[in-house]
């Protein structure tokens, strides 16, 4: 295993909604990276930390398998990943250490504006396009909706207009994208924000102490903000 590494390996989204605020948080607690952030891999200045910049979808795998010790990831992506692990009967080695208060959004079901909606049963047996098939399947099971799930990885919101699906299950923050595509949000499945996660086993004792200090500083920074 990779258990005795001397530097803390942190996985952060390379580009996208979580990158800026993740790196801003690290900067606030005194961790800076060299200017060129073009690479996949980056040493921090003066502290035993290395950053790995990757697609957010890869972060749970990197942390679960111990290639990274720590990561910042949306709860939506983490929950989907954990359901997939369960499904495959693989072990879950991820601990959630802290909710970070940014990256807020919700996973919701939306249907065409023109479609009638009374209650959740209006969704019965619909074909729903999503990038979160496990979360949607669980929701379908819990509510006896018998949904048919179309798993697509991007631009989910165009599926109803193309006749590919009756509904979508996707992330919403302002609702503008839904509006632009003539969709209306009808059910919220979950709320999400960015989480600090870590591998439950990989940290050497010295790094464990260092990491706990980082968390303390994050708590300090976040309290100061309130």
Q: Minimum distance between the CB of residue 77 and ligand ATP, rounded to whole angstroms?
A: 5
Among 109, 123, 128, 171, binds ligand ATP (CB under 6 A): 171
Q: What angle do CA 198, 43, 48 make, to 5 degrees?
A: 60
Parallel, antiparallel, or unpaired for β 8-13 and 41-43? unpaired
User: Minimum distance from CB of 155 to Zn ion (Å)?
Assistant: 13
List the interface residues with Zn ion, window 29-88 (CB under 5 A). Answer: 56-57
Candidates 60, 103, 133, 160; binder of ligand ATP (CB under 6 A) is: 103
CB nearer to ligand ATP: give 44 or 178. 178
Q: From Zn ion, ligand ATP, none, which one binds at residue 10 (CB under 5 to 8 Å depending on kind)? A: none
Order of strands, sheet of 148-151, starting from the edge strand that comes earlier in the sequence: 148-151, 127-130, 167-172, 105-112, 183-192
Q: Give me the helices (H) in the chain, please.
A: 19-28, 59-64, 75-87, 133-142, 176-180, 205-225
Q: Measured between alpha carbons, how far is 11 from 152 in angstroms, rounded to an integer?
A: 25
What is the rounded distance in angstroms from the CA atom of residue 166 to the CA atom of residue 161?
9
Select the residue whose beta carbon is closest to ligand ATP and give its number.
74
Cα angle, residue 139 at apex, residues 133 and 141 outer, rounded to 5°: 100
Measured from the CB of residue 91, what is the shortest distance to ligand ATP in angstroms? 24
Question: What residues from 21 to 80 belong to the interface with ligand ATP (CB under 6 A)?
Answer: 55-57, 74, 76-77
What residues line the site for Zn ion (CB under 5 A)? 56-57
What residues line the site for ligand ATP (CB under 6 A)? 13, 16-18, 55-57, 74, 76-77, 103, 105, 171, 173, 192
């Amino acid at each position: 295993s990779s258990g005795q590494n001397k530097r803390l390996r942190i996985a952060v989204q390379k580009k996208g909604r979580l990158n800026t605020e993740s790196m801003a948080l690290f900067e606030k607690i005194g961790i800076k990276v060299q200017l060129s952030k073009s690479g996949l891999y980056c040493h921090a200045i003066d502290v035993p930390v290395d950053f790995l910049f990757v697609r957010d979808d890869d972060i749970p795998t990197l942390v679960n398998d111990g290639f990274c010790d720590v990561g910042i990831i949306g709860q939506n992506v983490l929950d989907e990943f954990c359901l997939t692990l369960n499904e495959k009967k693989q072990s879950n080695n991820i601990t959630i250490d802290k909710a970070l208060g940014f990256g807020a959004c919700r996973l919701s079901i939306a249907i065409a504006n023109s479609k009638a909606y009374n209650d959740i049963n209006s969704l019965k047996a619909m074909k729903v396009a999503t990038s979160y098939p496990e979360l949607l399947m669980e929701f379908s099971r819990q509510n006896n909706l018998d949904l048919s799930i179309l798993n697509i990885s991007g631009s989910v919101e165009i599926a109803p207009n193309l006749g590919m699906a009756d509904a979508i299950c996707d992330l919403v923050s302002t609702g503008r994208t839904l509006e632009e595509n003539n969709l209306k949000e009808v059910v919220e499945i979950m709320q999400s924000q960015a989480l600090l996660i870590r591998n439950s086993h990989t940290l050497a004792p010295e790094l464990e102490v260092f990491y706990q200090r980082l968390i303390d500083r994050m708590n300090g920074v976040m309290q100061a903000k309130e």
